[in-house]
């Protein structure tokens, strides 16, 4: 009897066995389908990497233990002690903490580029500048980056472009096709999609960059576990369907939220008055994603009343799950910034981030409407 499972089984093992020394030598000559040690590679994590690589149309991909370790890997591929990196000012707070608080300690310096200067980079590039890190759709203000324009500038300045594509996913935008050198994701979010995995991925335009990223992943011990790889690969199978539903629901809610008197502003690229709406439309495959932010009165108690009055939508400091949740950037993702930095970015006391799920939108409006009435 031959056993042929339709889906890949979970290879929940830390190590693989060899028959003899010849088998070991064969592995080192051509790792290929043979495996040695899960930190080096495992069928479940390799499958996930290959699937994401295909979606992003990359030359190679490496999965990691988290989105943070994916960013770390991408930076370490290009930069070492004595080097300098640029980072878009509007970025996930954890990314800026990694750069400002940790990588500076090992000799990699960072400069943040305000959005007004991002397409010229005039005055920011030094002799030792290696890369620019930016997000396709920024967290949490939903600013959309013109990736083709950004890639042209980076090429002119002879630096690499690393794009965090977490909020968009490859269903909406494929940065490598627009000129980025590396794409990273927090796979924790849309790619796995069910709020039950923490994972990351680095996808590269050049195959040798992926080989170097794999070396860093192995040696720094940034690998993903087989079970999380399996779960993420399972979630990934429905990415396209989920992104369509997330996007349709988010657009409907953004339009509805704009009409509510308690709301001062709604930030969603699908709204015609969003500053990059036309760009989002052309770069985003007609979809705008499932993330939006809105501003209530800038009073902590108004935010508290809103949160407490929600029945079905929890306050959960993550995003991109199939069920809707809210988060509070000033107190979670961007907590590490100073109050002045947050204010400059528009992350005020009243700013709430909504991760729109794939439920019926009618029920979401009822829950949000009730909470807004309590504000």
Contact residues for ligand PLP (CB under 6 A)? Answer: 66-68, 92, 94, 135, 139, 164, 166-167, 186, 188, 198, 200, 333
Residue placing its CB nearer to ligand PLP in the complex, 153 or 166: 166
In angstroms, give the least distance from the CB of 70 to ligand PLP. 8
Question: Where would I find the beta strands (DSSP E) of the chain?
Answer: 60-64, 84-88, 109-113, 129-135, 160-164, 182-186, 200-204, 265-267, 291-295, 325-327, 351-355
In angstroms, give the least distance from the CB of 45 to ligand PLP. 15
The residue whose Cβ lies closest to ligand PLP is 67
3 state DSSP class of 161: strand
CB 182 within 8 A of CB 62: no
Q: Check if 157 is active-site.
A: no
Q: Check if 27 is active-site.
A: no
Residue placing its CB nearer to ligand PLP in the complex, 214 or 320: 320
In angstroms, give the least distance from the CB of 333 to ligand PLP. 6
In terms of Cβ atoms closer than 10 Å to its own Cβ (0-12, 13-18, 19+), residue 4 is: exposed
Mutual orientation of helices 43-56 and 226-236 as an angle, nearest 10°?
Answer: 30
In angstroms, give the least distance from the CB of 38 to ligand PLP. 20
CB count in 10 Å sphere of residue 15: 11
Residue placing its CB nearer to ligand PLP in the complex, 133 or 303: 133
* CA–CA–CA angle 342, 347, 351 (5° rounding): 155
Instruction: Pick the catalytic residue from 124, 164, 342, 353.
Output: 164
CB 322 within 8 A of CB 262: no
Residue placing its CB nearer to ligand PLP in the complex, 27 or 220: 220
Q: Check if 124 is active-site.
A: no
In angstroms, give the least distance from the CB of 20 to ligand PLP. 40
Residue placing its CB nearer to ligand PLP in the complex, 169 or 188: 188
Task: Provide the β-strand partners of residue 134.
Answer: 163
CA distance 177 to 199: 23
CA distance 217 to 232: 18
Residue placing its CB nearer to ligand PLP in the complex, 168 or 210: 168
* CA–CA–CA angle 171, 286, 295 (5° rounding): 95
Task: Provide the β-strand partners of residue 162.
Answer: 133, 182
In angstroms, give the least distance from the CB of 189 to ligand PLP. 6
Instruction: Pick the catalytic residue from 130, 160, 189, 212.
Output: 189
- The residues assigned a catalytic role are 39, 92, 164, 189
């Amino acid at each position: 009897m031959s056993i042929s499972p339709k889906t890949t089984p979970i290879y929940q093992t830390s190590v693989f066995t060899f028959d003899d020394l010849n088998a070991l030598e064969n592995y080192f000559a051509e790792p290929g389908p043979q495996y040695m040690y899960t930190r080096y590679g495992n069928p479940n994590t390799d499958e996930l990497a290959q699937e994401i690589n295909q979606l992003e149309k990359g030359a190679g991909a490496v999965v990691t233990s988290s989105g943070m370790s994916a960013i770390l890997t991408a930076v370490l591929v290009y930069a070492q002690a004595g080097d300098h990196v640029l980072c878009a000012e509007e970025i996930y707070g954890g990314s800026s903490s990694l750069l400002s608080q940790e990588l500076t300690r090992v000799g990699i310096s960072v400069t943040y580029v305000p959005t007004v200067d991002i397409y010229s980079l005039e005055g920011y590039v030094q002799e030792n500048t290696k890369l620019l890190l930016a997000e396709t759709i920024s967290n949490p203000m939903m600013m959309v980056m013109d990736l083709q324009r950004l890639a042209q500038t980076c090429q002119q300045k002879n630096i690499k472009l690393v794009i965090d594509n977490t909020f968009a996913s490859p269903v909406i935008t494929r940065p490598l096709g627009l000129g980025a050198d590396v794409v990273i994701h927090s796979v924790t979010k849309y790619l796995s999609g069910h709020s039950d995995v923490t994972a990351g991925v680095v996808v590269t335009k050049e195959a040798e960059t992926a080989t170097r990223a794999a070396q860093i992943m192995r040696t720094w011990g940034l690998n993903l576990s087989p079970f999380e790889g399996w779960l993420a690969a399972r979630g990934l199978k429905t990415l396209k369907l989920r992104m369509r539903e997330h996007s349709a629901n988010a657009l409907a809610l953004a339009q509805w939220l704009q009409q509510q008197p308690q709301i001062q502003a709604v930030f969603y690229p699908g709204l015609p008055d969003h500053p990059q709406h036309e760009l989002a439309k052309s770069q985003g495959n007609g979809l705008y994603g499932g993330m939006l932010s809105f501003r209530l009165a800038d009073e902590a108690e108004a935010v508290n009343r809103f949160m407490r009055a929600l029945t079905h939508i929890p306050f959960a400091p993550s995003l991109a799950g199939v069920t809707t949740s809210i988060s509070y950037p000033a107190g979670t993702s961007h907590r590490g910034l100073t109050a002045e930095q947050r204010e400059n970015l528009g992350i005020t006391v009243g700013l709430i981030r909504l991760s729109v799920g794939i439920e019926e939108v009618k029920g979401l409006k009822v829950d949000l409407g009730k909470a807004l009435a309590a504000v």
